[in-house]
Amino acid sequence: MAICNIPGLNTLRSSDLAVMYSFREKYDAPDRSLSFARWLASIPLWAVFVFCAIIVLYPTLVLAQSVAEREGPFQVLLRWMPLLLTSGFTLNILISFLTMALGTIGGVFLGLAQISPTRAIQVPGKILTHTFRNSPWLVVIFIVMLSIPNEVDIFGQTIPFPDWIKAVLGLSLPIMANVSEIARGAIQSVPSGQWEAAEATGFNRHQILWRIILPQCIKRMIPPWMNWYAILTMATPLVSLLGVGEMVTTTRLAMAAENDRPDLLSPFFGFCLVTFFVYCYPIARLTIRLEKRFAVKL
C-alpha cells in the first residue's frame, strides 16, 4: 500500500508565504552584550572558594620544599600584601571609576549623536563609535599616552600630566564607544508610541529625549553598563605596560626587591588574579540579577 506524505505530519511543511515569527524569539533571546558577565556569574560559588584556597595554599607547599633559613613565599606575600592592595589595586579601582565616568558621559552624547536626524551630527557620531569600538585597547592607550606631553605650560603655570591620567583618557575612548552603542540601543528600544504620544502633546524633540525617553532608558542601560565596567576593571592592568604604578607594576617591583625569586612568581601573580576575581565576581552576579529583573515580560 502506498504511503501518503502528509505535510506537517511525516514530512517537513514548506510554503512560499511570509512567516511572522514569535515576538518571544526576538526579545527572550539572551543579550549577547552581557556574555562576559553571564560567563563570570555562571561560575559556582564553591569553585571560587576552592580556587582561592589553592592560590593561598600553594606558597605553603613551596615553603615546605625550600630551605629552612629562607623566608617562605607565603611570609613574603603577607609582608607585601598591604602595599599591593593600597598602592596597587587602589589605583586600578581609581582608574576604572574615572574611566567609566568619562566614558559614560561621552558615550551618552555620542549615542544621541547617532540617532540625530541631522546627518552632519549623525555621521561623525557613527564614525567615532565604530572606530574606537573596533580598535585594540592597547593601541589606543599607546597613541594617547605618547601624544600627550608629560606637562603643559599655561600662562606661566606648569600643569603635569601623570601617566595614570593619560591611561584614563586612553581607556575612556573605547568605553565611550561601547556606551554609545548601549545608549543608542536603549533609546531605540523604547516603543515608538512613546514618541508619538509626546509629539501629540506638544513636546519638541529635545524635551521628548530628556524628559520622557532617557529616563526610561536608565534601567535598560544598567546591566550592559555594569558588564562593561567589569571588563574595564580587568583591562586596567594593560596600563602597566606603559609604566603606570598599578597592581601588576607594584607586584613586579615587589618581586624585583626580593631578587626575583622564582618561587614568588605564582603566589604574587596568583594573588593579583584572586584580587581582581573577588572584585569583579559580585558585579557579574548583580548584572545577571538586574538583567532578569529588567527583562521584558509579556
Domains of the chain in sequence order: 90-249 (1.10.3720.10)
Q: In terms of DSSP H, where are the helices of the chain?
A: 23-27, 35-41, 45-65, 73-83, 90-114, 119-133, 137-147, 163-189, 192-200, 205-208, 214-235, 247-257, 265-293
Measured CA to CA, the distance from residue 60 to residue 83 in angstroms comes to 21
pLDDT the model gives residue 35: 67
- H or E stretch including 153? strand 151-154
For 87-125, give the DSSP string.
IIIHHHHHHHHHHHHHHHHHHHHHHHHHT-S-HHHHHHH
- For the question of whether the overall pTM of this predicted structure is more than 0.85, the answer is no
pLDDT the model gives residue 68: 42
Are the CB atoms for 204 and 213 separated by under 8 Å?
no
Residue (of 57, 63, 66, 83) closest to 255 by Cα position: 83
Are the CB atoms for 212 and 259 separated by under 8 Å?
no
Cβ neighbors of 158 (< 8 A, separation 6 or more) are 151, 152
pLDDT the model gives residue 126: 93
Residue whose grid cell is 581609581: 94
Q: List the pLDDT tens digit at each of the 298 positions of the chain.
A: 555 555 555 555 555 544 444 444 444 445 555 666 666 667 776 666 666 666 656 555 555 454 444 678 888 888 899 999 998 999 999 999 999 999 999 999 999 999 988 899 999 999 999 999 999 999 999 999 888 888 878 877 888 888 899 999 999 999 999 999 999 988 888 888 888 888 888 888 888 888 888 888 888 888 889 889 999 999 999 998 888 888 999 999 999 998 888 888 888 998 999 999 999 988 888 888 887 776 655 4
The CA dihedral of 35, 41, 43, 44, to the nearest 10 degrees, is -150
Residue 154's SS3 state is: strand
| All cell numbers assigned to 29 | 533571546
Residue 11's SS3 state is: strand
pLDDT the model gives residue 228: 92
Measured CA to CA, the distance from residue 31 to residue 27 in angstroms comes to 9
Measured CA to CA, the distance from residue 251 to residue 45 in angstroms comes to 27
Residue (of 168, 163, 152, 162) closest to 105 by Cα position: 168
Are the CB atoms for 288 and 226 separated by under 8 Å?
no
The strand pairing partners of 160, in sequence order, are 151
pLDDT the model gives residue 31: 54
CA distances from 138 to 12, 71, 132, 175, 237 (A): 51, 37, 12, 13, 10
pLDDT the model gives residue 124: 93
